[in-house]
Structure 1
Amino acid sequence: MNAYDFARRTGSALIVGLGLMTASCTDAPDIKTDYDQTVDYAKYHQYSWVYTGVPQGMNPLMFDRVRGSIDRSLAARGYQQVEKGDFAVAFTLGRRDRVEVTDFGPYGPYYRGWGWGGAAYRNVDVRNVTDGTLVIDLYDVATKKPIWHGVATQEIDPSKVDQAKIDAAIDAVIAKFPPQPGTK
């Protein structure tokens, strides 16, 4: 096999491999939940909000978007909002900036330098990333104790509002309620 055939075959495998890696990377949020395992979740049918006004320091437009999305998601799962429900809902939003560094190795994502006489080089990608976090907490109204905690973390663009991304994150978190025994 000459260098051309090797590069052509290896390049095809590389393209297929990169395609599979890209397909496996989703834009879905990372979801984590925790809950009180002693609670009978079947008794919860109606909910109310812990707070009705916009918390200090929160964007009131974002508050309305998130609250409306939570209302829609809970209604889709059969829960009804009332003035004094069986459980109460609260949420918080946050974001964290971080630097993401990817080192593609001495030849980068290509086989440059193999058989073509090119010099080796390092290909490093550095980018700033913002992770948005949505936390939804549910409380038993009678006992005032927390019963369920759900967190969605996802890369966001803080310069624009993406309602579809907000809805998808909320739906993904609410899909974990009520909890199934043995899950977290």
Structure 2
Amino acid sequence: MRCLVLASALMLTACTTGPDISSDFDPSVNFAKYRTYSWIYTAPPEGMNPLTYERVHASIDRSLAARGYTQANPGDFAVAFTLGRRDKVQVTDFGPYGPYYPGWGWGYRWGGWAPAYRDVDVRNVTEGSLAIDFYDTTTKRPIWHGVATQEVTPGKVDQALIDTAVDATLAKFPPTTAPPR
């Protein structure tokens, strides 16, 4: 019984994973000098839902404030973000007999032959992305870039999902390791 409960908990945890995060930065930048920030855009870009823009904007403000950064005009660095989504086909092939049982058919468990079948799951999914970019206000050069991607439900705006994506992305700022090569 314990194994069943543990297996169920692990399966539920796997279904509720957070966003995939990637980041990059300029290794020549001294990030310790940045204490204040400002926004590059003060209004949503044309075609973007203004309510979603405000939700993401407020979430970034909250997350940066929690990390000790304050908003100023002009700030030490400037912030911009981009939202995107794309539809994908996700195919999972469970192999010649499926994920749980050996072949079914005449003779299964009676020593006879059981024909093989393939268990393939095909789903249409929508992948949402949030890209956050920071620029040095003095040099106008990019200093940091972070991206969160996760499966989303089109038409459904979930503040908890936005906050999770923003917090997970900004957890990589300021960078503590060398950028990927």
Q: Please state which band the TM-score falls in when normalised by the shorter chain.
A: 0.7 to 0.9
Q: Is the 8 A contact 1:47 1:80 kept in 2?
A: yes
Q: Give distance in 2, aligned partners of 1:22 and 1:115.
A: 32
Q: Give distance in 2, aligned partners of 1:17 and 1:79.
A: 42
Q: Is 2:109 the partner of 1:115?
A: yes
Q: Give distance in 1, aligned partners of 2:169 and 2:147.
A: 7
Q: Is 2:84 the partner of 1:88?
A: no
Q: Give distance in 2, aligned partners of 1:59 and 1:121.
A: 46
How far did residue 171 of structure 1 move?
0.2
Q: Give distance in 2, aligned partners of 1:40 and 1:15.
A: 48
Letter in 1 for 2:76: D
Q: Is 2:126 the partner of 1:135?
A: no
User: Which of 33, 47, 50 is residue 23 of structure 2 equivalent to?
Assistant: 33
**Structure 2 match to 1:60:** 50
- Computed over aligned residues only, the root mean square deviation of the Cα atoms, in angstroms, reads 2.4
Q: Is the 8 A contact 2:98 2:117 kept in 1?
A: yes
Q: Is the 8 A contact 1:105 1:122 kept in 2?
A: yes
Q: Give distance in 1, aligned partners of 2:153 and 2:175.
A: 30
Q: Give distance in 2, aligned partners of 1:52 and 1:23.
A: 38
**Structure 2 match to 1:7:** none
- Gap change, CA 1:177 and 1:115, over 3 Å in 2: same
Q: Is the 8 A contact 2:135 2:142 kept in 1?
A: yes
Q: Is the 8 A contact 1:37 1:181 kept in 2?
A: no
Q: Give distance in 2, aligned partners of 1:18 and 1:124.
A: 22
| 1:19-73 per-position Cα deviation (integer Å, ceiling 9, x unaligned) | 6566456521111111011111111000000011111111101100000000000
TM-score normalised by length of structure 2? 0.85
Q: Give distance in 1, aligned partners of 2:100 and 2:146.
A: 41
Q: Give distance in 2, aligned partners of 1:28 and 1:177.
A: 18
TM-score normalised by length of structure 1? 0.84
Letter in 2 for 1:94: G
Q: Give distance in 1, aligned partners of 2:43 and 2:9.
A: 47
**What are structure 2's unaligned runs of at least 5 residues?**
none
Q: Once the two structures are aligned, what percentage of the paired residues are identical?
A: 64
Any idea what SS the aligned residue of 1:63 has?
A: helix
**Structure 1 match to 2:166:** 170
Q: Is 2:69 the partner of 1:79?
A: yes
**Structure 2 match to 1:4:** none
- Gap change, CA 1:22 and 1:121, over 3 Å in 2: farther
The aligned length equals 172
Q: Which 4+ runs in 1 deviate beyond 3 A? A: 13-26, 116-120
